[in-house]
Chains A and B, each alone.
Chain A
Amino acid sequence: MKHEDKHISSYASLAIVLAVLLFLTAFSVWITGFHFGAFTVAVALIIACVKVATVLINFMHLKFENLFLKLLVTGVFVMFALVVVLTFVDYYFR
């Protein structure tokens, strides 16, 4: 199989993605230094989700993949989020 139709990520774009990821890491270390309880946890997890999305879309080339795979990956993460929500509903309201 030839890969003529494949999109090749440029070195520069990958380096920019790394810079963004390192910035987000530094930001999450800095923000969790303040102890705001549940707020800190929420912010740290939101930053982690942004970082994961950045890796999936750029490093794992999801933005160049077909719609089927995009939906599949999104679906898996939505499914996991539902499992988390249902578990906590069960834990708090049983």
Chain B
Amino acid sequence: MSVHNTHAEHIDSETGKLGMWIFLFTELFLFGGLFLVYAVFRAKYSAEFHIAAGELNAFIGTMNTVFLLVSSMTVAMSLTAIQKGDRKLALFLVLVTILLAALFMVNKYFEWSHKFEYGIYPGSEVLKNMSHGELLFFGLYYMMTGLHALHVLVGMVLLSINVVKIKSGSVNSNHYLMLENSALYWHLVDLIWIFLFPLLYLIT
């Protein structure tokens, strides 16, 4: 009996992708739960949420939306490039995606530190003296954007692994499931932000 490397050759990309989608569903419900909490408290404390949301900088929010949307396109394009066998272009596009993710995080850093300067951070005296509704708004703001930022960081790590794999050639025009699933994850990060942006920054 010859047991050659048939095992290593077999990569079931359809199943691999389905697994990724099912994981993404759990992520959707994780954030979905937070959206639900936000929606109910917003209905309960609409006036206070209105005042608190006015504190957020819609310009920074819009800028970050643009960064994530463009990065979603670049990662989708990198998949096209690898499928067409253009490794160099794929590598470049993944690097651009990581750069845009980093810009998003830099923006987030300035946004949060600006709030910290005004004493608006979880557990601060300023926050304790605010009304119950405002306290809830900022609690949810830090929880949702924080959890989202954590996903951005994980996405950056995943994309960096892809950079190494594209360079080494283990992600190539025949085997690109890793890049495909990482791209799906990155699009999810974008999807969640698409909901977070109007909920937190626009509807004041």
User: Do B13 and A59 touch (CB < 8 A)?
Assistant: no
Main secondary structure of the interface of A (DSSP, over half): helix
Q: How many A-B residue pairs have CB under 8 A?
A: 103
Indicate if B132 sits at the interface (CB-CB under 8 A): no
* Separation of A51 and B40 alpha carbons in the complex (Å): 23
User: Do A22 and B66 touch (CB < 8 A)?
Assistant: yes
User: Do B21 and A73 touch (CB < 8 A)?
Assistant: yes
Give me the interface of B with A, judged by CB distance under 8 Å: 10-13, 18, 21, 25, 28-29, 32, 35-36, 39-40, 43, 58, 62, 65-66, 69-70, 72-73, 76-77, 79-80, 83-84, 174-176, 183-184, 187, 190-191, 194-195, 197-198, 202-204
User: Do B29 and A80 touch (CB < 8 A)?
Assistant: yes
* Separation of A80 and B55 alpha carbons in the complex (Å): 30
Give me the interface of A with B, judged by CB distance under 8 Å: 1-3, 6, 8-11, 14-15, 17-18, 21-22, 25, 28-29, 32, 40-41, 44-45, 47-48, 51-52, 55-56, 58-60, 69, 72-73, 76, 80, 83-84, 87-88, 91
User: Do B194 and A48 touch (CB < 8 A)?
Assistant: yes
| Among B69, B80, B198, contact of A18 (Cβ-Cβ < 8 Å) | B69
User: Do B198 and A48 touch (CB < 8 A)?
Assistant: yes
